[in-house]
Chain A
Amino acid sequence: MKTILIISVCNESLHELEFVKPVSNILDELNVKYELKYYKEVINFEEYSHVIICGTSLQDDYFLDGMEYFEWLRKYDGKVLGICAGMQILGLLFGGDITKKTEIGFYMENFPSDFLGVSGKQEVYHLHNNCIHNWKDTGFDVCCVGDGKVAQAVKHEDKEFYGILFHPEIRNKEMVKRFLE
């Protein structure tokens, strides 16, 4: 049976209404049970088959000072979806470098092959000031490259770990649904 964990990295809990609730709404629509936890809580990850790490606001990068709370990802063998901040966490943990890149609003991104059920040109909603610019030797394949050669979507070569820089909970909900299948 699927047990899903949604992780918030929001420094201000009010931001969870904007960055976590729209994700949990998708699970509510699917009538799927899930638990919501803050990333600094003590969590027994073995209890969960799927983990979604949500994004946070443009000015909030406090989670970058708490990377030790994500060490569990190295050993975790379930499925992980990192959204925006969550993708940055995956990249940093596996050896990527973070850099400044601001994208806000709708952009067209091109998926050369199927990625969580989408392919071809897709309109996506961006809201970030940072990105991972070097995925070489991280174990992740870059599946979609956007403006300025920014990796927009990555998938781990061996694990079921996915990273998405934009916010699929806004215009690409089917990607979240596909991840849960």
Chain B
Amino acid sequence: MKLGLLFSGGKDSVLAGFVAKKYGHELSCLISLLSENDYSFMFHTPSVSNVSLQAEAMNIPILVKNTKGEKEIELKDLKSVILKAKKEYDIEGIITGAVLSVYQASRIQRICNDLGLEVFNPLWQKNQENILSELIENKFDVRIVGVFAYPLNKKWLGRKIDKQYIDDVKILNDKYGISIAGEGGEFESFVLDCLFFRKKLIIENYEDYEDGENSCKRELKLGLVDR
């Protein structure tokens, strides 16, 4: 089936696309909403301007739509870009990286139902530690680019999701209830490389921004190299 991947550049959306490909589906295009609102109801924002470079690394066309990130306008913008993907790339369905958010998932379900499109949520209700383990098993290079909850701080920015990372975040899960895969919005991630990338991204430079001790972001300046 020809599918469009709702794409934030983070681990969940890339993993969802990876799983869909493993099941034999074609990723016809990526669909990204660039929110001007840091507190978007639906979408990640860190390093989202780098998604075009990720699309190039995957060799998959991307549709990018800017949105003000206000609750209902965001949904209209999402619907219009999904409709565009349906017309331009003849997609029959959408893949999302939704795991736990019924808010996010049910709104996408409504939009796609109106447009007569299938929705695939391959990570739906998946155990969060299993998500991270699957990333490691499949050689994803995922970096933390934002932290938004106590006791996370700027020391976590740039960390790669590996076994040590899982061990460390599990301690915070036990002590402070930090979601292991960041499903509560505690942290955000960015994928530099994975098995279905044709090229990989490298970090050439970065700039960190702090909005309090436990709210920090890293803007990545990226390059593209052969794998």
Residues from chain B with a CB closer than 8 A to the CB of A22 are 124-125
What CA separation (Å) do A25 and B125 show in the bound complex?
Answer: 9
* Contact of A59 with B117 in the complex, beta carbons under 8 Å: yes
What CA separation (Å) do A105 and B105 show in the bound complex?
Answer: 8
Cβ contact of B1, chosen from A12, A17, A21, cutoff 8 A: A12
Closest residue on chain A to residue B123 by CB atoms: A17
Cβ contact of A58, chosen from B19, B109, B125, B126, cutoff 8 A: B109
Residues from chain A with a CB closer than 8 A to the CB of B125 are 18, 21-22, 25, 169-170
A106 within 8 A of B: yes
B23 within 8 A of A: yes
Residues from chain B with a CB closer than 8 A to the CB of A17 are 19, 121-124, 126
B227 within 8 A of A: no
B198 CB, nearest partner CB in chain A, Å: 23
Taking A14-B20, A14-B25, A104-B110 as contacts, is the C-beta distance between A59 and B124 under 8 angstroms?
Answer: no
Segment 82-127 of B: residues with Cβ below 8 Å from A: 93, 102, 106, 109-110, 112-113, 116-127
Taking A13-B23, A21-B125 as contacts, is the C-beta distance between A59 and B120 under 8 angstroms?
Answer: no
Segment 129-160 of B: residues with Cβ below 8 Å from A: none
Residues from chain A with a CB closer than 8 A to the CB of B117 are 59
What CA separation (Å) do A169 and B118 show in the bound complex?
Answer: 21
A57 within 8 A of B: yes
Taking A15-B120, A18-B122 as contacts, is the C-beta distance between A104 and B113 under 8 angstroms?
Answer: yes
Query: Chain A CB within 10 Å — which of B20, B93, B118 has the most?
Result: B118
Taking A104-B106, A104-B113, A129-B113 as contacts, is the C-beta distance between A57 and B119 under 8 angstroms?
Answer: yes
* Contact of B118 with A60 in the complex, beta carbons under 8 Å: yes
Segment 1-30 of A: residues with Cβ below 8 Å from B: 12-15, 17-18, 21-22, 25
What CA separation (Å) do A58 and B106 show in the bound complex?
Answer: 11
* Contact of A106 with B118 in the complex, beta carbons under 8 Å: no
What CA separation (Å) do A159 and B122 show in the bound complex?
Answer: 34
A162 within 8 A of B: no
Residues from chain B with a CB closer than 8 A to the CB of A12 are 1, 23, 118, 120
A130 CB, nearest partner CB in chain B, Å: 12
Query: Chain B CB within 10 Å — which of A12, A25, A102 has the most?
Result: A12
* Contact of A14 with B113 in the complex, beta carbons under 8 Å: no
Taking A25-B127, A104-B110, A105-B106 as contacts, is the C-beta distance between A59 and B116 under 8 angstroms?
Answer: yes
* Contact of A58 with B113 in the complex, beta carbons under 8 Å: yes
A98 within 8 A of B: no
Q: List 7 A-B contacts (CB under 8 A).
A: A12-B1, A14-B20, A18-B124, A21-B125, A25-B127, A57-B119, A59-B119
- Residues of B that sit less than 8 Å from A by CB: 1, 19-20, 23, 25, 93, 102, 106, 109-110, 112-113, 116-127
- Residues of A that sit less than 8 Å from B by CB: 12-15, 17-18, 21-22, 25, 57-60, 102, 104-106, 125, 127, 129, 169-170
Given contacts A21-B125, A104-B109, A105-B106, 10 further A-B contacts (CB under 8 A): A12-B1, A14-B120, A17-B126, A18-B121, A58-B119, A59-B113, A59-B119, A125-B102, A127-B106, A170-B125
